[in-house]
Structure 1
Amino acid sequence: MKYKGKIYKKIILLGNSGSGKSWTAQRMGSKTGYPVIYLDKECWQPGWNYPPEEEWQEKNRAFIQGSEWIIDGNHHETLQMRIEAADLILFFDINRLLCMYRVWKRHGHKRIDLPEYLEEKRDKEFFRFLKWIWQFPEKCNPGILAMREKYQDKDFLIFHSRKDAEIFLEQIEG
C-alpha cells in the first residue's frame, strides 16, 4: 500500500471499540489486497472465553510473520510484538460517546470482526463492556501513546473522526 509516497506492508489499527477500526480495515483490505486479521475473531472462543496465553501469543507471532497484513484490534497483551513488526500504526482516538452509540447500534448484528458462533446479548457483561468503552481513553490511550513515544521510528497516524479515516482511505493506493 502506498500512502504519501511511502510503501507500507504491515499495518495495525488501534482504538476503542466502536471507533471504526474494523470498518477501515475491511476497506483497506479491499483496496490493497492485503489479508485482514481481526483479532477479536481470532481470539474469542465459544462462550466469550479467552484462549490459553501461550496459544494466543503463538497465534500473534504467526500473524506477524506474513509479508503483508492489516491487523485490527488492541489486545494489549500482544500489542508490543505487533507494533515492533508494523510499519504503520493507525490510532482511532474517537469520542467515547460516539463509540458507545456505535456499539449499542451494531449490537446483535452479524459482524465481520467476530466469530459467527458468538452471540451478543444486552446482559450484565454487555454493560460492563460499555463501561470499558467509557474508560478506554483514561485506561488505554496512555499505553498506546507511550508505544508511539517508544517506537518513534514507526509511522503513527491519529484519526479523530470517520472523516479522517475516509480521507486516509481516499489517499492510499493499493
Structure 2
Amino acid sequence: MRRSRPRQYRRPVRRILIVGNSGAGKSTLARSVARRLDLPLIHLDRHYWRPGWTAAHPADFRAEVAALAARERWVMDGNYAGTLDLRLPRADLLVLVDPPWPLCLARVVRRRADPRAAGRPDLPDGCPERLDLDFIRYVSQYPRRSRPRVLAAVSAHAPALPVVRLRSRRQVGRWLESLPVA
C-alpha cells in the first residue's frame, strides 16, 4: 500500500467540525486539534444537555448553535444531525472519526467503568457518564443510521467541503501530525 503525503489545505482551516460515533474519540481529537491549531474548542454536548441529562429546547439549541457556528474560528465536536445545516456551510473541514462500532462500544463501556470519566470536560455538570440500552443501540446502529445522515447532509449543505475520514487510531495520529502547529 502506497503512503500518501499529509494533506495540505489550500485555504486556512479556521473552523473544523468533528463528528462520529460515541466512543470514537471525537472529544479527545477535538481537544488535540484545538491545542495544536490554537483554535477555540466547542463541545456541543455542553450546550445541549442540562443537569440530569435534560435536553435543551430544540429552538433554543438551534439558535445557540447558529451563534456558535457564526464565530470566525472554532473546533466543534458533536453530531446533532438537526443542526448540521447550520454548521456544515460554515466549516472549512469535516473530520469523521469512524472506527468500527464494536471498538466504540468497548470504549463507551470502559469509560463508564472509569471513575475519572465523571468529570469529562465535554459534558456539563450534573450529567454523569451513563450507559443504557438506548445508548448501546445508538452506538451499534451509528454506521447504518447516523453516518449516512451525516454524509447526506454534507452533500446537501456543503458539497465542496473537504471530508477527512479517520478509521483507526493510527490514522488519527498521522492526520493530527500533518496539521501545522500554531
TM-score, normalization by structure 1: 0.91
For structure 1, which segment, 133-142 or 108-117, has the greater mean C-alpha deviation from structure 2 after superposition? 108-117
C-alpha deviation, 1:5, in angstroms: 4.2
Residue 4 (structure 1) aligned with residue 8 (structure 2): yes
Partners of 1:24 and 1:79 in 2: CA distance? 19
Matches within 5 A, 1:92-131: 92-107=97-112, 108=115, 109=117, 110-122=119-131, 126-131=132-137
Matched with 2:153 is 147
Matches within 5 A, 1:7-156: 7-107=12-112, 108=115, 109=117, 110-122=119-131, 126-150=132-156, 151-156=158-163
Q: 1:121 to 1:8 in 2, by over 3 A?
A: closer
Q: Provide the aligned length of Structure 1 versus Structure 2.
A: 169
Partners of 1:5 and 1:144 in 2: CA distance? 22
Which amino acid in structure 2 is aligned with residue 58 of structure 1?
A: A
TM-score, normalization by structure 2: 0.88
- Long gaps (5+) in structure 1: none
State whether residues 88 and 154 of structure 2, in contact with CA within 8 Å, keep that contact through their aligned partners in structure 1. Answer: no
Partners of 1:44 and 1:158 in 2: CA distance? 27
Q: What is the aligned-residue identity percentage?
A: 29
State whether residues 51 and 125 of structure 2, in contact with CA within 8 Å, keep that contact through their aligned partners in structure 1. Answer: no
Q: 1:115 to 1:153 in 2, by over 3 A?
A: same
For structure 1, which segment, 153-162 or 113-122, has the greater mean C-alpha deviation from structure 2 after superposition? 113-122
Structure 1 residue ranges, 4+ long, deviating more than 3 angstroms after superposition: none
C-alpha deviation, 1:121, in angstroms: 4.2
Partners of 2:48 and 2:18 in 1: CA distance? 16
Equivalent residue of 1:138, what SS?
Answer: coil
* Structural RMSD (CA): 1.4
Q: 1:88 to 1:48 in 2, by over 3 A?
A: same
Equivalent residue of 2:144, what SS?
Answer: helix
Which amino acid in structure 2 is aligned with residue 72 of structure 1?
A: D
